[in-house]
Amino acid sequence: KEKKELIDADGIRRALTRISHEIIEKNEGLEDIVVIGIRTRGVPLANRISNKLADIEGEEVLAGSLDITLYRDDLTTVANQPIVHKTEIPFDITGKKVILVDDVLYTGRTVRSALDALMDLGRPQNIQLAILIDRGHRELPIRADFVGKNLPTSHQEVIDVNLKETDGSDAVILKEY
Ligand code: 5GP
Ligand code: MG
């Protein structure tokens, strides 16, 4: 298995800082903004973004999470319908601008399920998608509003996203199977 570091810790920090500024600019501030991460690694990313947003604008930003399971053996096989398990969103999303956050965007099926789950919870003003890595291969008409980096991959490749909170250190690594 080949391994190659594509983004280091500083690169991840800068991408999240830029995305945070883009969110503020696009929304002309943080009014009604809430941030919701998709487990596992979308959650620490959502927390980092909500903290950065709060730092930059000096206001509190609510954060929550969605737990969605993909029935596929590894990340190179195509998923069926992802299943939404637990949601930890301790606030009403009706009328909110929801920033949905995940580490990698691939077929788009996880995000589609997340959108369904969010719509079941309330009637958000809108939903915007922030993704650290877009690896291509979409199977649905879904795109991210905020992207850390576009990294076109083959189906045999997987992007290993390591985050301090879940993996001990920050790095994005290309893995080939
Ligand atoms: P999709 O549902 O768009 O096919 O896949 C996106 C979901 O699967 C995300 O939650 C993401 O964490 C995971 N995923 C898909 N491909 C990769 C990948 O190459 N690397 C990582 N780390 N996660 C992936
Ligand atoms: Mg995931």
- Report which protein residue has its CA nearest ligand 1's atom 5: 106
Residues forming beta bridges with residue 157, ordered by sequence position: 176
Grade residue 69 by pLDDT with cuts at 50, 70 and 90.
Answer: confident
Q: Give the model's pLDDT for residue 80.
A: 60
Binning pLDDT at 50, 70 and 90, where does residue 87 land? Answer: confident
For residue 41, how far is its CA from the centre of ligand 2 (angstroms)? 6
How many Å lie between the centroid of ligand 2 and the Cα of residue 52? 22
Residues with CB under 6 A from ligand 1: 38, 41, 70, 75, 79, 102-110, 135, 158-161
Q: Mind giving me the DSSP string for the chain?
A: --EEEEE-HHHHHHHHHHHHHHHHHHTTS-TTEEEEEETTTHHHHHHHHHHHHHHHHTS--EEEEEEEE---SSTTSPP---EEEEEE--S--TT-EEEEEEEEESSSHHHHHHHHHHHHH---SEEEEEEEEE----SSS---SEEEEE----TTEEEEEE-HHHHSS-EEEEEE-
The mean pLDDT of 8-21, rounded to a whole number, is: 98
The predicted-structure confidence for 19-46, as pLDDT tens digits, reads as follows: 999 999 999 999 999 999 999 999 999 9
Mutation test residue for ligand 1: of 1, 36, 75, 147, the one with most atoms within 8 Å of CB: 75
Ligand 1, atom 4, lies closest to the CA of 107
Which atom of ligand 1 lies at the shortest distance from residue 161's CA?
22
Q: Whose CA is nearest to atom 9 of ligand 1?
A: 104
CA of 132, nearest ligand number? 1
| Complex ipTM value | 0.99
Residues 48-67 have a mean pLDDT of 97
pLDDT of residue 77: 56
pLDDT at residue 81 in the model: 64
Instruction: Determine the average pLDDT of the residues in 67-93.
Output: 72
Residue 70 has pLDDT above 90, yes or no: no
